[in-house]
Amino acid sequence: MHLQLTRRGDYAVRAMLALSESDVEPWLSATRISAAMTIPERFLPRVLRELARAGLIEARTGRTGGYRLARPANEITVMDVIAAVEPEDDDRRCVLRGLPCGADGRCAVHATFAEARTAMQGRLSATTLADLAHPAR
């Protein structure tokens, strides 16, 4: 069974990690983020716009511009990042068939997978960028 992010979610998490690990430079260009995290440069600006729209990063244009975290890495959760770029999860969709569950909206495994989804979201909400960027601290 695979529980994974879309490419957009993956790129968003990696871009935010690059920004949270940048202790020396206050502003990182999209080119630097792309190179540091192996994210296609043509796709990254869209992800960065969504992160800025969600208030997770700040953007500055110009020669000394770029991107930086809008608040400290220990105040931004992995769930914040994912929620900014991933579509809302449809809990009515059947994990077995990918379609809406039966007439009552629930199949035999629905409750179990709903609990697992809630647990995963709880873990992502409890993990900050600082936890990922500096796990030994």
pLDDT tens digits, 56-103: 999 999 888 899 999 999 999 999 999 999 887 666 666 666 667 666
Tokens of 113: 């997978």
Name the percent of the chain lying above pLDDT 70. Answer: 81
Q: Supply the pLDDT for residue 117.
A: 83
pLDDT band at 4 (very low <50, low <70, confident <90, very high): low
Question: How many domains is the chain partitioned into structurally?
Answer: 1
Residue 2: inside a domain: no
pTM of structure: 0.84
Distance of alpha carbon 75 from alpha carbon 56, whole angstroms? 10
Between 6-15, 30-39, 102-111, 128-137, the lowest mean confidence (pLDDT) is in 102-111
Burial profile 58-68: b = 16 or more Cβ within 10 angstroms, e = fewer: bbeeeeeebbb
In a domain, 1, yes or no: no
Query: What is residue 57's DSSP assignment?
Result: E
CATH number at residue 50: 1.10.10.10
pLDDT for the residue numbered 82? 94
Domain extent for 21: 7-133
- Distance (Å, whole) CA 59 – CA 12: 15
